[in-house]
Structure 1
Amino acid sequence: MSAFLAALALAMPTPPACIDPTGISNPALFSLPSSNPAQFNPANPMANSILLSVLLAVAVPTLVTYETPIQGRLALRVTLPLATMAAAYHPSALDAFARESMSAARRRCGSTVDYAAGDALFVHRQVALAYTLAFTVDTVFPEANKGLLSSILTSWGLDMSICDTANCSDVSTPWGLARTAVDELEDFFKHDGFNADGSLSRDFNRVPYEDWRAESYSPVNSADRYKRKRLWQPLPEHDGRGYIANQQHVTPHIGWTARPFVLTNDEVCDARLAPPQYVLNAEALLVLSRTGALNSTKKMEVEFFDNKFTSLIPLLVQYTARLGVNADSFHFIWLDVATAAAIYDATIVGWKEKVRHDLVRPPSVIQSQFRDETVMSYRGPSEEPGDIKGSDWEAYIRIMPHAEYPSGSSCLCRAFVEALVTFEGITAAAPVPPMGAGPLVQPFAAGSSSVEPGKTPDTDIVLTFASWDEVVHVCGESRLDGGMHFTAAVPDGERLCGFVGGRTANYFLELQGGNVPAYAADISDKVLMENDTRQGRRRC
């Protein structure tokens, strides 16, 4: 029998080592950005990069309008097709799902790690990158500025509607690879346990991202009845135009139903925190003290780190540009997807713990326990710190609609940084390389605050970050300074999610070397994915 199997194996056709790139007969037809890191201008990072032009102009402005856990999901949806595209032009890398035969069948003949501008295969790759981004943004963000997206492509000599006339099922072409990479990823995200289209809970009038489980989450406290003092209470919100509503906990189900990308289910379940030993009145006094001490620098730190994709990503772009890393290179794309996957998996871990502990936010405690007392603290936008009734107190910025513990910001910032430093082979505590370049910087013009426009900061200021550990530290401390968390949430968020970044980076480093990691998500098992999500199967 063994001899027969050996003979059969020899008779089987050998998968091709590479595929000849087709579709482009005249590279001179395209006027693509040069992506020259020597020309990188932090004030205009889109000028020399296909990737940054589309992401920063079209994708990110739409992404940041979503709630935090959904932003992480959308970022992974954007970056995974790019990883598949980039792997096809790399001499050894497997695609993001570690599919050896699929990766071999798509690898371009002549692929290399470094490409010379003007080389025919380099142009082929850049066209594939542009179309991958365009198709991804068009699919993931139907509400994005498609006119702007189309005009960007047109300026490069590309046609957004190319699949109407060209064969986009032929992966040897740049547009065929791009269309295929984007479409196949949708299978994973249609069954990822987020209930993104609302189809798991309703047949009609669907509510995206709704908790559809039979035992769905319901807060113990209501917006107008705060009885269980340690447990989360929905907070009132308003749009300043007459609409007032009470919060509902965002995606409380994902800690149990969302599919992690790099982590196993066991790793998600095993990441647990003991309940923090809060003395709530003492914690509330600390919140009042810290928000009462807010100055221009601390306020801009709070605003800067309020969204991880308009803080961490610009710092990553600045760091790689300083190293001379091409913003459209394999290195940058895979560093980007590694950090995006770290944020995605860390969100699932963090949300599981948020719902499991279900702890109260500072406004509920302060407005209840100090209701009729006069306290000295922050008094609202453009107001100087001073005396305020406890019932009137609010945090510096919006408190997100999910439980207090652990801090999602410290969790995600630590996971992101650990993914970055592991992938780069550097140390988070050391000065940001290259040596002698100085800290990473984020300037703010006088009056540029979104909370206190025209007033804060009172002069031009520059935030500086000497190390990646300092980025994480300021990210976490800003949540305390702004009044969104009690003390244990920040260090415990870091401790919970740090391992996610290292795991994620090592996963992509394995793929880069052509190795199959011990665990990879099976994109082909649609039946299992469908059963898991339909049944709302509990992971833990």
Structure 2
Amino acid sequence: MTASEGSPDPGFSTRRRSLLIGGLGTASTAVLASLAHGGAASATPSKAAAATGFDLDTGNFIIELISPFQPAFNVIAPMDVTVLHRFVHLSVVSWFDATAPYHPTRVGLHSRLGRRPSSEAATNRNKTIAALHANYQVIKGVEPRREPDFRAVMTSIGLNPDDESEDRTSPVGLGNLAGKAVVAAALRDGMNQLGDVGRRYNGKPYADYTGYRPVNTPFELEHPSRWQPNLGPHGRRLGGGGGDLGIFVAQQFATPQLRLVKAHSFGDPRQFALAAPDHIDHTRPRDYRRSVDEIIEASAALTDRQKVAAEYFDDKTMGLGQSVGFAAIAHLDRLTLDDMIDLGFTTSVAIFDAMIACWHQKHRYDAVRPFSAIRHLYGRQKLTAWGGPGKGTVDDIRGDEWSSYLNTGDHPDYPSGSTVLCSAEAQAARRFLGDDVLNLRHVSRAGSTLREPGRSPASDVELFYPTWDAFVKECAISRVWGGVHFKKTVERSIVFGEQFGDLAYRWAQRYIRGDVDN
């Protein structure tokens, strides 16, 4: 593990010890309970923040205020996973840059605000104030739909979100400057946030400008090895329910321009080799059929626990977001607040860079998804598989009626984005923390699944991942259980994703240690 130099803030150390020995304050008890039981999304942010009794001098803002299991950080509006992780990454970078002036060696990524003199205390309070103001600037500039919730959190702990000071001697000024620098860098990063690339009027935020066109239509699979946009209800929700009756919309490849965004830890995504997806090449009929049959077999054997796991990992604020929090808590006896910021920075870089490389390969291979291959191969033949919400396993579902348990993502199959990101994050955390310990625990209450609300699971289900290795393996196979990726796709994606954890760790260490040009 890479720990911060110098002595940790004594108030924070006391709080860490109380967490470990079980003398948990109101805030930490609520946080750990929400971690184990899926978060507190139903609470309003202002009430949640007030209930924590958060203390600027001793509190951990990452876990107690804006982590993925707190309302201010939850997804409040639909967005693609690439847009979500970009926002999360920019937020974490803002924490890193805003607190760099209070760190003995760290230098910011998008701002170089100097180092505060030793006579000025690098306190938990100053770091927290700087980080929260920086994050607020990112929210205003990148995801303003979250602004009301975040304002409520800030005001509930005595901060003024309208303070636009740029005084470099104050934590508010440092936070504002750092956050604004992150936003400025993001606006022209290649993701087309403003939607004005190639157009002057009526911008379309995050729209593709690369000219990608699928070879198949939603109605005809002319090339059985290539991606086919799916049809789904207009306004569908994460679990597949809801939507406007009688209206169906076709998928589009979400943010194919991501492959053109500049990564942190490497120069060109084309430098990373990934074998062609021969397992879903229709000119290799035995391999193609085997891959399809593995999906059907998994569908037929789908259990309540598998449904819970599939939904858990499909929700990226839960699977990817909570995992780093659990890892931090598992190592809290030796992590300062600075270390937790550095851990978040390292794993966020790993996810972001892995996502760029993954999208390059998705665009390159443009590979077919299971729903298309099953319908192509079996047509009107009857299969034994999951029959849809509340139907369980049936033995007379036609191939052209088959549906995956999870919603199929708006992009090609190969590689699996979820698996690549889980693997990259896990390896970055392993390198930073020096071991494989995770201890992630999640309880899904009876009847709480999104796909089958009130029906599954029949009783409470607990997911437990003692190690990152167990976490990654289940993240991968859950995509097969969910029916959205082929088995060989996820197996190869584990190996492909891991390398970005190593790259991110080495790259982040340079900024943590200050081994970069100022």
The answer to whether TM tops 0.5 is: yes
Question: The residue matched to 1:62 in structure 2 has which SS?
Answer: coil
Partner of 2:90: 77
Is 2:138 aligned against 1:126? no
Partner of 2:154: 153
Trace 1:337-416 onto structure 2 (pairs within 5 A): 337-387=345-395, 388-416=397-425
Which amino acid letter does the alignment assign opposite residue 229 of structure 1? P
Aligned mate of 1:54, from 48, 61, 66: 66
Trace 1:408-427 onto structure 2 (pairs within 5 A): 408-426=417-435
In the TM superposition, what is the alpha-carbon distance from 1:415 to its structure 2 partner? 0.5
- Does the 8 A contact of 1:64 with 1:307 survive in 2? no
Q: Percent identity?
A: 25
In the TM superposition, what is the alpha-carbon distance from 1:174 to its structure 2 partner? 1.1
In the TM superposition, what is the alpha-carbon distance from 1:34 to its structure 2 partner? 6.7
Which deviates further from its counterpart, 239-248 or 408-417? 239-248
Q: Deviations over 1:250-307 (max 9, x none)?
A: 112221x211122222xx2111212122222222111111011010111111000002
Partner of 1:169: 166
Partner of 1:6: none
CA distance, structure 1, for counterparts of residue 449 and residue 465 of structure 2: 20
Is 2:173 aligned against 1:186? no
- Does the 8 A contact of 2:67 with 2:325 survive in 1? no
- Does the 8 A contact of 1:291 with 1:481 survive in 2? yes
Question: The residue matched to 1:162 in structure 2 has which SS?
Answer: coil
Aligned mate of 1:220, from 215, 228, 231: 215
CA distance, structure 2, for counterparts of residue 260 and residue 228 of structure 1: 32
In the TM superposition, what is the alpha-carbon distance from 1:512 to its structure 2 partner? 1.9
In structure 2, do the counterparts of structure 1 residues 371 and 189 end up closer, same or farther at CA, with 3 Å as the change threshold? same
In the TM superposition, what is the alpha-carbon distance from 1:348 to its structure 2 partner? 0.6
Aligned mate of 2:264, from 249, 261, 277: 261
Q: Deviations over 1:41-83 (max 9, x none)?
A: 3114673532341344455323773112222211111111100
Is 2:301 aligned against 1:293? yes
Partner of 2:145: 143
In the TM superposition, what is the alpha-carbon distance from 1:353 to its structure 2 partner? 0.4
- Does the 8 A contact of 1:91 with 1:111 survive in 2? no
Which segments of 5 or more consecutive residues in structure 2 lack a partner in the other structure?
1-13, 36-48, 53-58, 237-242, 280-286
In structure 2, do the counterparts of structure 1 residues 226 and 293 end up closer, same or farther at CA, with 3 Å as the change threshold? same
- Does the 8 A contact of 1:58 with 1:145 survive in 2? no
In structure 2, do the counterparts of structure 1 residues 262 and 34 end up closer, same or farther at CA, with 3 Å as the change threshold? same
In structure 2, do the counterparts of structure 1 residues 223 and 488 end up closer, same or farther at CA, with 3 Å as the change threshold? same
Which amino acid letter does the alignment assign opposite residue 171 of structure 2? P
CA distance, structure 1, for counterparts of residue 228 and residue 414 of structure 2: 13
CA distance, structure 1, for counterparts of residue 359 and residue 430 of structure 2: 24
Which amino acid letter does the alignment assign opposite residue 489 of structure 1? T
Q: Deviations over 1:342-363 (max 9, x none)?
A: 1111011001001101111111
Q: Deviations over 1:151-171 (max 9, x none)?
A: 3222211111122xxxx2211
In structure 2, do the counterparts of structure 1 residues 511 and 37 end up closer, same or farther at CA, with 3 Å as the change threshold? farther
Larger Rg: 1
CA distance, structure 1, for counterparts of residue 378 and residue 134 of structure 2: 54
Q: Deviations over 1:92-111 (max 9, x none)?
A: 112235x7xx35x2434357
CA distance, structure 1, for counterparts of residue 86 and residue 333 of structure 2: 26
Question: The residue matched to 1:466 in structure 2 has which SS?
Answer: strand
- Does the 8 A contact of 2:224 with 2:376 survive in 1? no
Is 2:294 aligned against 1:303? no
Partner of 1:529: none
Question: The residue matched to 2:204 in structure 1 has which SS?
Answer: coil
CA distance, structure 2, for counterparts of residue 237 and residue 138 of structure 1: 32
Partner of 2:252: 248
Task: State the TM-score, normalized to the length of structure 1.
Answer: 0.80
Partner of 2:33: 43
Question: The residue matched to 2:463 in structure 1 has which SS?
Answer: strand
Which amino acid letter does the alignment assign opposite residue 497 of structure 2? C
- Does the 8 A contact of 2:194 with 2:206 survive in 1? yes
Question: Once superposed, what is the RMSD of the aligned Cα atoms?
Answer: 2.3
Trace 1:449-528 onto structure 2 (pairs within 5 A): 449-516=449-516
- Does the 8 A contact of 2:140 with 2:147 survive in 1? no
- Does the 8 A contact of 2:137 with 2:183 survive in 1? no
Q: Deviations over 1:222-249 (max 9, x none)?
A: 1112111111111101133223101111
Which amino acid letter does the alignment assign opposite residue 383 of structure 1? K
CA distance, structure 1, for counterparts of residue 73 and residue 365 of structure 2: 32
In the TM superposition, what is the alpha-carbon distance from 1:465 to its structure 2 partner? 1.1
In the TM superposition, what is the alpha-carbon distance from 1:442 to its structure 2 partner? 1.3
- Does the 8 A contact of 2:419 with 2:494 survive in 1? yes
CA distance, structure 1, for counterparts of residue 309 and residue 373 of structure 2: 24
Question: The residue matched to 2:443 in structure 1 has which SS?
Answer: strand
Which segments of 5 or more consecutive residues in structure 1 lack a partner in the other structure?
1-32, 116-120, 434-438, 523-540
CA distance, structure 1, for counterparts of residue 190 and residue 490 of structure 2: 27
Partner of 2:46: none
Partner of 1:318: 326
Which amino acid letter does the alignment assign opposite residue 421 of structure 2? L
Which amino acid letter does the alignment assign opposite residue 81 of structure 1? S
- Does the 8 A contact of 2:217 with 2:228 survive in 1? yes
Is 2:336 aligned against 1:332? no
CA distance, structure 2, for counterparts of residue 241 and residue 318 of structure 1: 38
Partner of 1:19: none
In structure 2, do the counterparts of structure 1 residues 327 and 49 end up closer, same or farther at CA, with 3 Å as the change threshold? farther
CA distance, structure 2, for counterparts of residue 416 and residue 183 of structure 1: 26
CA distance, structure 2, for counterparts of residue 110 and residue 325 of structure 1: 28
CA distance, structure 2, for counterparts of residue 414 and residue 150 of structure 1: 34
Question: The residue matched to 2:278 in structure 1 has which SS?
Answer: coil
Which amino acid letter does the alignment assign opposite residue 51 of structure 1? I
CA distance, structure 1, for counterparts of residue 138 and residue 119 of structure 2: 26
CA distance, structure 2, for counterparts of residue 144 and residue 195 of structure 1: 20
CA distance, structure 1, for counterparts of residue 506 and residue 93 of structure 2: 16
Which deviates further from its counterpart, 280-289 or 386-395? 280-289
Trace 1:525-536 onto structure 2 (pairs within 5 A): none
- Does the 8 A contact of 2:138 with 2:183 survive in 1? no
In structure 2, do the counterparts of structure 1 residues 327 and 141 end up closer, same or farther at CA, with 3 Å as the change threshold? farther
